[in-house]
A and B are shown apart, each in its own frame.
Chain A
Amino acid sequence: MDYFRAIVKSGEISERVYDLTGIIINKLVSNYNAYIIRRKCLRQMNLDLNKEMEFINQVTIANQKVYQIWEHRRQVIEELNDFKGEIEFLHQIFDIDNKNYHGWTYRVWLCEKFKLYNQEIKDIQYYLEEDIGNNSAWNYRYFLLTKMPFDFNTELEYIKNAIRLEQDNEASWNYLRGWFKMFKFKNDQENPYKTYVQYNLKDFNLFDFLKEMRFSNRFALSLQIQYLLFDGKFQDAIQICEQLQNYDLIRIKYWQYIKNQIIELIQ
């Protein structure tokens, strides 16, 4: 460490310094000074960036949730201006942990940088088939679709089928809800800086679909409440809250809170 400090102070850029940064990174992967100096070496000595990617891959596999190595990766790829091998590497990472937040964060950057939307919308299919509960994948799917023209009716069928496969999968229900505007109670304000691609529930008849679900399915019941609220059927909505106080016991206080909010509407 003292040796490294001396190098930092001297400002030396050389093969031995480059090697030293590699040693430091392997031992103290979050030491950001090491990366700064390593990148200086890469630039000034015009080193092989593809070889650097091999080093980065090895360090990332050993330290999958450390910000600095992902940021270093991003900077080197930006310099290379080529995403070759990146999707394959991400597959490796997601094979280990398919919800790695750093991995998906990087993937969003990669997709936007190289405009990979069209190939990614096909690729995301694989993750959802492999684990339909993978909320990171569903989130990424939403991100991709908001950047391209698509037919919502087709997408709606896709979501319904996903839900039919696993009726208790919160991720697919959350994804479904995300496409619709929710009922606004008096304290609900719009987000002034975000326009969500969202539709009106009333324009899409999901009643028959919701009836396919088990009677105690809290996600289906919650959506039923939304429909009833939009329809002004407040008493019916209150009844569903009461049902949920039985079926979703852990959230008894929440459903009481919703019930109270609806009662306020009636008054």
Chain B
Amino acid sequence: MQQQLTIEKHEEFIKKTLYQQKLPCKMDSLKALILYCCVTTLKLLKSEYQCEPIVEFLKHLEVQPHQYRASTFDDSEPSIVNSYCAISVLKQIKQKIEVNKESALNYVRSLIQEDGNIRSSVSSNDADLRMVYSALAYLDLLEIDTSEFQQTVGKFILTCQNQDGAFGLRPNLESHCGASYCAVSSLIILKLEIPNKSSLIEWLVMRQCKMTGGMAGRINKIPDSCYSFWIGWNLRLLGLDLLDKERLMEFLQHCQSNYGGFSKYPQSMPDPIHTLHSLLGILENEDYDYVHAILLN
């Protein structure tokens, strides 16, 4: 199956993206996320990269200890998703981090809402399981104890579980693969049980499409390459390997671009997010940290 992947082209695509100086301004707020995607991919492909420029770049985004904003262009506040991406990158490139426990904890505490949901940044109302995951994985990567959040945040996560066993981004919302991965990995970090596992597992495996082999994010939606990760890694978190990898590869081949990288659907433009998540979903690697969505070695 490895032969069907044009690994060198993907490596080239990612390196080009990583070392590109200018992104279109609409993508500027995604810089930290794109950095995370590039670094994680290069590690996966056992590729060489320079640590110095990455560390320097992240220093410019660090507003307060361990608090990172999206970019220097749009003056945004630090956000938890960017902070998670930054810490994740630093961990992966084995940069020593002087952990300021109180700073990181207080930052997360400042983002928790009354219902246990977590906001993306102090002035924003954008709060859902993605931010919950980012916050918990961020603290966990910094080796900070998250047990104080079990009752509040843990409870919120559990109220997002639907009657079909999967999770929506917030309570009462439609079951979604990304939300389900975030929920399960967050519950694991909090050392809480995952309820209704059997229903969840059946829901997850049903996302693989008989016709194309690809993975869809919700019921009756078309397959998108990145769900190879959200579903595959969710099942791994539950100790299972149940997807049809060959059929999945059939689909991913069509998402593989001639110029390198993967796109979300066949015959669209590749991007680093779908490149990373397609590769994570299809390649085996003994150094996967399924909970934090990074490579350990």
Contact = CB atoms under 8 A, between A and B. Distances in A.
B97 to A, nearest CB: 28
A217 interface: no
Residue of B74, B76, B121, B123 with most partner-chain A CB within 10 A:
B74
A152 interface: no
Contacts of A36: 123
A154 to B, nearest CB: 19
A36 B26 CA distance: 19
A254 B140 CA distance: 31
Interface string B192-215: 011111110111011010100100
A250 B155 contact: no
B167 to A, nearest CB: 11
A97 to B, nearest CB: 11
B158 A251 contact: no
Contacts of A105: 169-170, 173
A250 B76 contact: no
Contacts of B220: 133-135, 169-171
A87 interface: no
Contacts of B125: 71
B51 interface: no
A33 B70 CA distance: 13
- Give the dominant DSSP class at B's interface: loop
A194 B172 CA distance: 11
Given A1-B73, A28-B25, A185-B198, A253 B172 contact: no
Given A134-B220, A189-B193, A108 B161 contact: no
Nearest to A5: B75
Contacts of A68: 126
Interface stretch (A10-18, A173-181, A202-210, A234-242): A173-181
Contact of B161 (A30, A136, A194): A194
A191 B126 contact: no
Interface string A178-193: 1100111101111111
B174 A139 contact: yes
B241 interface: yes
Contact of B172 (A32, A108, A184, A252): A108
Query: Looking at chain B, what size class is its interface with the partner chain?
Result: 35 or more
A55 interface: no
A190 B243 contact: no
B158 A194 contact: yes
B264 interface: no
B145 interface: no
B163 A196 contact: yes
B173 A253 contact: no
B163 to A, nearest CB: 4
A99 interface: yes
Contact of B159 (A31, A32, A101, A193): A193
A12 B219 CA distance: 48
A222 interface: yes
B257 interface: no
A251 B242 contact: yes
Nearest to A218: B206
A230 interface: no
A104 interface: yes
Contacts of B202: 222, 254
Given A1-B73, A169-B220, A170-B206, A136 B193 contact: no
B221 interface: yes
Contacts of A28: 25-26, 74
Contacts of A94: none
Given A133-B220, A182-B198, A191-B161, A254 B205 contact: yes
B281 to A, nearest CB: 15
Interface in A116-162: 133-136, 139, 142-143
B175 interface: yes
A68 B197 CA distance: 34
Given A174-B219, A251-B205, A251-B244, A191 B195 contact: yes
The 7 closest A-B pairs by CB, nearest first: A178-B163, A191-B195, A135-B219, A139-B174, A193-B158, A133-B220, A254-B205
Interface of B: 25-26, 29, 73-76, 121, 123-126, 155, 158-159, 161-165, 168-170, 172-176, 193-199, 201-203, 205-206, 208, 210, 213, 218-221, 240-244, 247
20 contacts: A32-B76, A36-B123, A101-B176, A104-B174, A139-B175, A174-B219, A178-B163, A179-B163, A182-B196, A183-B198, A185-B198, A187-B198, A188-B195, A188-B196, A189-B196, A249-B244, A253-B242, A253-B244, A254-B201, A254-B205
